[in-house]
Amino acid sequence: MTTLYGISNCDTVRKTRKWLESNGIAFEFHDFRKEGLTRAQVDRWCDDQGSQIVLNKRGTTWRQLPVEQRDNLDEESLRALLVEHPTLIKRPVLEHNGTIRVGFKAEDYAGLFGV
């Protein structure tokens, strides 16, 4: 089972979806802006990849947070914030047979899927 998490209007997510489709890889798409996320999903990604990999500090949502909030995030409050504001998550997140990838690199996906 392969699930791609992201936001439908994100350019990187679109590029990833196109890559998966052109390589004949079946996947489900989960738009976390519309469908939300659970704490268990965020915990799984952060435990596997590290919360600083999962967190997108380059996006608008991060820049719009008050500086005091950004500067005083511990692990617990960061994970809660990611559930509350999923657009803070680097996109896309891919789950495939127990493997998690954050971001998109065609060569990494090719190795993961053996194409």
Catalytic site residues? 10
Q: Give dist(CA 10, CA 41) in Å, integer.
A: 20
78, two tokens: 């960061």
User: What is the gyration radius of the CA atoms in the chain, in angstroms?
Assistant: 14
Q: SS3 string of 15-40? A: HHHHHHHHCCCCCEEEEHHHHCCCHH
